[in-house]
Amino acid sequence: MPHAPFIIASFAVAGVGMTWLIVSSYLSMRRAEGFAAKLKDRP
Amino acid sequence: MHRFANPARFLRIAKPLTPALFWPGLVLTLVACIWGIFFTPTERLMGDTVKIIFVHVPAAWLGMGGWTGIAIASIVQLVWRHPLAGVSARAIAVPGATFAAICLITGSIWGRPTWGTWWVWDGRLTSMLVLFFLYLGYIALSNASSDKGDTSRVAAVFGIIGAINIPIINRSVIWWESQHQKASITLSGSSIDSAYLVPLFVAVAGFSLLFSALVLMRMRAALAEMRIEVRMRRMAED
């Protein structure tokens, strides 16, 4: 049984999972902090 | 500890700390993956599938470490009423669940060529699956209401009770007959050859730094959302 597909699949799962986590966490942080700063400046 | 109870003081530290943890974490993770895939030897029994260890083990440790963090933060929240403890516990939940899922999926992929099966209902695999479901329950519970008062207390109690599963996962390969191998790394030493052990520790360091940066990002988002809610309420009252 060739091992390469199993190795590629494992690293792909980890890569996709971590990329999703990083992008979603960063975007939600930027969006919330940006909106909070905008509201703070509003009179 | 209460010095950091002030969210403004916490944010002054968290803002520079987030990139300081994130970038070294990303570099170490990439270095460990490239090292693991291209520069480690083929193992005698498992062949090249041993390379899966560089994502499977850090994900497993952080999946368990994440819940330990939730349990500690929940105790701090309930006993000392630290205002940031509940926020940090909720910030750990999604990264912890994702790492537990990565551990389960990569473990299943590793099981097929080495055990001849994708899944077995043994102690280690089942208790890890239970941990993943506990994460889902915790996330649902802490998101159940926009009123974080009582709900977060219920989530904190759930976080503490769920911690009983962590020693069960750890001891499962000793207590029950298991397809999963016994612990290769213990406090007294390691049975793993240094050709795999060194890049594995680099991977664990990288994943851990990334995990910490992700938790800080999610805490910052939660604190900003709280500020938005307070401001909106004030604007509605005016």
Q: Is residue B222 part of a domain?
A: yes
Q: Is residue B203 part of a domain?
A: yes
CA atoms within 13 A on the CB side of B221: 17
Q: How far is CA B177 from the centre of its chain?
A: 26
Of the candidates B35, B93, B40, B88, the residue with the CA atom closest to the CA atom of residue B62: B93
Q: Is residue B142 part of a domain?
A: yes
Q: How far apart are CA B19 and CA B21, in angstroms?
A: 5
Q: Is residue B72 part of a domain?
A: yes
Q: Supply the range of the domain harboring residue B107.
A: 58-179+197-233
Q: Do A28 and B69 form a contact (C-beta atoms < 8 A)?
A: no
Are B49 and A40 in contact (CB < 8 Å)? no
- Where does the pLDDT of residue B148 fall: very low under 50, low under 70, confident under 90, or very high at 90 and above? low
B38-58 pLDDT per residue, tens: 999 998 888 999 999 999 999
Q: Do B118 and B99 form a contact (C-beta atoms < 8 A)?
A: no
Q: Is residue B124 part of a domain?
A: yes
Q: How many separate domains does chain B show? A: 1
> CA nearest B19 in A: which residue?
A26
Name B14's Cβ contacts closer than 8 Å, sequence gap at least 6: B216, B219, B220
- Quote the pLDDT of residue B4: 63
A4-43 pLDDT per residue, tens: 999 999 999 999 999 999 999 999 999 999 999 998 877 6
Name chain B contacts of A7, Cβ cutoff 8 Å: 37, 48-49, 51-52
Q: Is residue B25 part of a domain?
A: no
pTM more than 0.90: yes
> Mean pLDDT, chain B, as a whole number?
92
- Say whether the ipTM exceeds 0.90: yes
Structure tokens at B56: 């499977």
Chain B from 16 to 55: CB within 8 A of any A CB:
29, 33, 37, 47-49, 51-52, 55
Q: How far apart are CA B102 and CA B211, in angstroms?
A: 13
